Amino acid sequence: MDLFDKLAGRASPLGEFTSGGYGYYTFPKLEGPLGPEMKFNGKDVIVWSINDYLGIGNNEEVRKIDTEATSKYSLSAPMGARLMTGNSTEHEALERELADFVHKPEALLLNYGYQGIMSVIHALVDRNDFLIYDELSHACIVDGKQLAMSETAVFKHNDIEGLERQLQRATSRAKENSSILVVTEGVFGMTGDLGKLREIVALKEKYNFRLLVDDAHGFGTLGHDGSGAGTELGCQDGIDIYFGTFAKAVALIGAFVATEPRVKEFLKANTRSQIFAKSLPLPIVETARKRIKMIRANPQWREKLWENSMKLREGLKEIGYNVLPSESPVTPVLTEGSTELCTTIMRELREKHGIFVSGVAYPVVPRGMVLIRLIPTASHTDEHIRKTLDAFEMIKPIALQHSDSELNVPV
């Protein structure tokens, strides 16, 4: 059979939404300057779906920096992978600044977080090793597992006893040259809860393993200085490889891992997706350096983000919604119903109230559940929050029609 003919019969995980919901539920176009007020299908909407946590994506100073950096360097330079011709003094300076920010000796830039972390996992463990990760880990970790030749095991979300059982099992089966890598997240992006990093680090007293933390959502938003979930939980030292991306709080593209020098040296020569790919363009590196400086110098952005997150969350709870006990700005509202309810809520909010939210239903969450996820940012105003809460109040008869407000199903 022709390969392309066969593709039509292969179900996508998004099912009918890939084509039926195209442009609305999938691949929607948010237009106009990036921020809490954008246009969707020509209508003004208040946006709660973008990870520009600190609201710097459309900051005037940032836009000026972007323009100047692009005209200084061109978007083309440098050409080639870093290993060959794509390295620069600026790339190296950004790495030193990132390491300093997250309190690690060294950092290694990655062109994309997703590919980068996959390759890091692939490079770190081989067929003699064990890879153990949280079941709610992001797709890039799951895909990293597919590449790794090691034996893999999953522990239930944040279940430290489950992790310990896997550590015992791996330890008892280990050969002389076997090692263990545990992978979890700083902030779980769908549910907003933090990884139990302190408890995992404490297990190092009993078991010999290394810990990699994907802190995509915590980098820039958590910790007294924005250095992430490890700092927030007081155990950054116990994280052996810290991963952060620029795709959220830095509102850019690119990512990094921060670790000890010998690991960086190894990764520089072994992360295939970085070795065989063009390096980050210089204007991206330059603006990343300046944005990170600004993030460090403006703690009030983080404070505002938290203030907005609390106002939104408490407001939703007062109206009667079941907001999952998130420990980060991610605000997940859980209700009971079908995929149809999920699309109805999204449509009602967008069409009747000018509120743009994203929702997920089965198979992302268990059958019968609907999760509406709101992402507050530092640039949302009290007025945005008030209008949004009013809208959620008005759609209550639809959104909570089957719901028992005590519902608290782990997602």
Ligand X SMILES: Cc1ncc(COP(=O)(O)O)c(C=O)c1O
- Shortest gap between Cβ of 48 and ligand X (angstroms)? 16
Structure tokens at 244: 């952060």
Count CB-CB contacts under 10 A for residue 271.
26
Nearer to ligand X, 251 or 370 (CB): 251
The answer to whether the beta carbons of residues 95 and 107 sit under 8 Å apart is yes
The secondary element (H helix, E strand) that includes residue 199 is helix 197-202
**Residue 314: phi, psi to the nearest 5?**
-65, -40
Residue 411 CA to residue 408 CA, distance in Å, equals 9
Nearer to ligand X, 112 or 209 (CB): 112
Calculate ∠ Cα 275-280-285, nearest 5°: 135
- Shortest gap between Cβ of 117 and ligand X (angstroms)? 6
Nearer to ligand X, 216 or 361 (CB): 216
Residue 62 CA to residue 74 CA, distance in Å, equals 17
- Shortest gap between Cβ of 9 and ligand X (angstroms)? 30
Structure tokens at 126: 């081989």
- Shortest gap between Cβ of 185 and ligand X (angstroms)? 6
Site residues (CB under 6 A) for ligand X?
A: 112-114, 138, 140, 185, 189, 214, 216, 245, 247, 255
Those residues with Cβ within 8 angstroms of residue 148's Cβ, 6 or more apart along the chain or in another chain = 121, 122, 124, 125, 126, 129, 131
Nearer to ligand X, 50 or 255 (CB): 255
- Shortest gap between Cβ of 244 and ligand X (angstroms)? 9
Q: Nearest-CB residue to ligand X?
A: 113
Nearer to ligand X, 254 or 337 (CB): 254
Structure tokens at 408: 């608290």
Nearer to ligand X, 239 or 255 (CB): 255
- Shortest gap between Cβ of 375 and ligand X (angstroms)? 11
